């Protein structure tokens, strides 16, 4: 998947072979906002325009533009990995949530 960034928003896009276009959407929002173009330059311009329009619309209707995250999510992994992660957490004197959070923070920081 290809991604773009603009004003704190991220967009994903793909090539639609049957239509011979690049097609994408803004990620991390509660609404569906799409954009398209025939080239990389056009898809970038369309994404930037979609973000600006979405920000303006949210301001107009007094709506938070970003999706709300609760801070919890389910992760399904195989039982052996679950056991290994638990054991690693114990070795690091952490509970499973602390270990997973720490690991995710490091992954995001390192890009």
Q: Where are the alpha helices (DSSP H) in 23-69?
A: 40-60
- What is the average pLDDT across 30-38? 96
Is residue 51 domain-resident?
yes
Total number of domains constituting the chain: 2
CA-closest candidate to residue 21, choices 43, 45, 1: 43
* pLDDT of 69 over the 90 cut: no
pLDDT at 1 over 90: no
Instruction: Please give the Cα distance from 57 to 60 (Å, whole number).
Output: 5
Answer yes or no: is 65 within a domain: no
Residues 43 and 83 in one domain: no
pTM, to two decimals: 0.76
Q: Work out the average pLDDT over 49-61.
A: 97
Within a domain: 68: no
Confidence of residue 68 (pLDDT cuts 50, 70, 90): confident
Range of the domain at 88: 79-109
């Amino acid at each position: 998947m290809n991604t773009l960034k603009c004003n704190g928003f991220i967009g994903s896009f793909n090539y639609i072979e049957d239509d011979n276009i690049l097609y994408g959407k803004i990620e991390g929002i509660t609404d569906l906002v799409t954009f398209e173009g025939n080239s990389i330059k056009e898809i970038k311009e369309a994404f930037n325009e979609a973000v600006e329009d979405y920000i303006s619309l949210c301001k107009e209707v007094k709506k938070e533009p970003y999706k709300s995250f609760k801070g919890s999510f389910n992760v399904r992994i195989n039982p052996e990995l679950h056991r290994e992660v638990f054991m690693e957490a114990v070795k690091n004197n952490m509970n499973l949530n602390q270990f997973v959070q720490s690991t995710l923070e490091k992954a995001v920081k390192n890009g």
